[in-house]
Amino acid sequence: MSAVVDPGPTWVEAWTPAEGASRASALLRGAFGVDATCTWRAPGRVTVIGEHTDYSEGLALPTVTPHAVYAAARPREDRVVRVASDQGAFLDGPGTTWEGTLDTDPQDVEGWPRYVIGLLWAMQERGYDGCGMDIALASCLPPRAGLASSAAVLAATGLVADDLWRLALDGDAGRAEIADACLDAENLAVGTLCGALDPHTILRCGPDDALLLDFAEHPTSAVPYPMYFRDYGLGLLVIDTGVPRGDVQQLFRTRRSECAAAAESLGARTLREVADTPLAARRVEGIADPVLRRRARHVTAEIERVRLVVGELSGTGPAHERFVTIGKAIYRSHASLELDYEASDPTLDLAVDAAFRAGALGARVSGAGYGGAVVALVRKTQARLAALHIAHGFTDAGRDEPRFLWV
């Protein structure tokens, strides 16, 4: 009898920009019988450090994935909007295609098309307008994995509107304007009261950079930092656990109100104000309500972790020591998200523990939490072996093997 060969871990490969554009264009042609006049790409988001700080006007250091949502579109001579999605059969909604108009109320739309029409609504609310359009969306970005796939759909639609409506929002200030429209669409049309992290990362971060985002600035300031990890043989291993995320909308609503209440209890407008004051940690420990104290502890400590990681990335000390320090900060971030912010779950904790045993320098929840993915800082030469060990850790625990992405 021949031996059973372990096929190894499952990788989600990124499309090249040319392949993504071709797939979206073919989908547009197949769905509506028309050829694209423009194609656009919106990547996913991975947060190096700084999770759940944006809606407290904090700091974050995210980067983008090579995996992306691709949009192909052409203008119409009326106000009709037709949309096709290669993910539509697997998402809530009408299936693979939807038709409406620029005047359709997003609240009357169910499922994934609400993101598209919600963004077009948000742009019109900001004073922009134009023709109807046919759009096709093709994605190699895993949905529901905490990599901002929904925000990428919003951003891709915003880029299409900018092109077809000739808005010339092509500089950083213009991209920030589209990002804010994406946030309006997410919060007001879709109903997820999230922060500004995802759209500003997707629309303003270069493929080889991380962004230091400061959400206390209006518009949000974005300072690029080279991703020095790659120069030293490191990278980000994303572990897609395959566990559907829980009620993220309720998580955002609850945590926003708790963070606001924690800041108010300290006489501050936001927890960022608290984090920027002397002896911030001591002030937080003085909050009487234990739940509000834990929420404030996460946000204020996470802001300090962002500052620490940015300092180490741009530091001049020995590289090994700097990256070990960054890795420890990433692990502390997960512990804070698990214990103080209660945004993890047993599967995410399992992934972090498995990454630690596999030799990752750091690992933490990626995105909102409650399921989805974990991001780990690992050496590139050990990435496949680390993925294999993590996959075996899942099967040893009786769980389905995760999928992996490399950033």
Angle at which helices 383-396 and 346-357 pack, to 10 degrees? 130
**Burial class of residue 168 in the structure, from the number of CB atoms within 10 Å of its CB (0-12 exposed, 13-18 middle, 19+ buried):** exposed
Among 256, 296, 251, 291, which Cα is nearest to 277's? 296
Q: Where are the beta strands (DSSP E) in 76-141?
A: 80-85, 97-101, 133-139
198 is annotated as an active-site residue = yes
Q: Using an 8 Å Cβ cutoff, are 58 and 104 in contact?
A: no
Residues sharing a CB contact under 8 Å with residue 4, sequence separation 6 or more, in sequence order: none
Give the active site residue among 162, 198, 240, 345: 198
Helix (H) or strand (E) holding 195: none
Q: Which residues contact 318 (CB under 8 A, 6 or more apart)?
A: none
Task: Give bridge partners of residue 404 from the DSSP assignment.
Answer: 11, 239
φ, ψ at 287 (rounded to 5°): -70, 125
Cβ atoms within 10 Å of 197's Cβ, excluding its own: 29
Residue numbers annotated as active site: 198
